A = this chain, B = another copy of it.
Amino acid sequence: MEKSKVKRAPKRGIYNSEEIYAILDKSYLCHISLVHKDYPVSIPTMYGRLGDAIYIHGASVSRLVTELEKGLPMSLSIAEVHGLVLARSAFHHSLNYESVVIFGKGKLVEDDEKLMALKAISDQAVPGRWEEARKPNAKELKATKVIKIQIEEASAKRRTGPPIDDKADYELDIWAGVIPLEKQYKSAVPDEKLNNGISEPQSVSRLMKNQ
């Protein structure tokens, strides 16, 4: 756990994989970091988790996958803000959030594992959608590469609750509290070119219901 040890605010650190995976499973967009020509590059992309592996995909010619398939060191991070924490002092302002950092190496996957991974990435954002959509054909599969990232090290951080001010500051006549931030899916907008009589599929109604 050398690289991913939470050094600051150790009480915010989470190291058991069950909790870390639970945070990962609430999201589907990550930032991948890699070193390209001596420069650190961070690229947002979708992901899917299956067991101890994260899968991502990209156009076969994209820098993201052509760099990752070399198996070079990489990291992956996600961060979700759940609230603004307003303290009496500027210094103790904070965010309520959950974040995960993963270190590992990428590896190109093919055939059955590739299809399984594409389904996992699809399911991560919209469970059940894969079964409804037209599956990729040979040409589309060739145009897409899938990278498996075996999780070697992972850690998470979480802050919850009210602001924590210095003792003397509780006497100040300054408002303090938390402003919760929520993400919400709004009613789906059907494509204008949708054929007549096609109703909203289960994947969409389930996503709306489960949020």
Contact = CB atoms under 8 A, between A and B. Distances in A.
Nearest to A59: B8
Contacts of A50: none
A17 B205 CA distance: 39
Contacts of A112: none
22 contacts: A29-B81, A33-B41, A35-B35, A39-B103, A40-B40, A42-B42, A84-B125, A84-B126, A86-B129, A87-B133, A90-B135, A91-B137, A91-B144, A134-B174, A162-B192, A171-B195, A175-B190, A175-B194, A175-B201, A176-B190, A180-B187, A180-B189
Interface in A147-189: 162-163, 169-189
B89 A31 contact: no
Given A44-B97, A88-B134, A179-B188, 9 more contacts: A7-B62, A29-B81, A32-B42, A43-B77, A90-B118, A91-B134, A176-B191, A177-B190, A177-B194
Query: Which of A7, A84, A191, A193 has the most C-beta atoms of chain B within 10 angstroms of its own C-beta?
Result: A191
Interface string A190-211: 1111110111110110011000
Nearest to A192: B162
A73 interface: yes
A186 B126 CA distance: 25
A184 B184 contact: yes
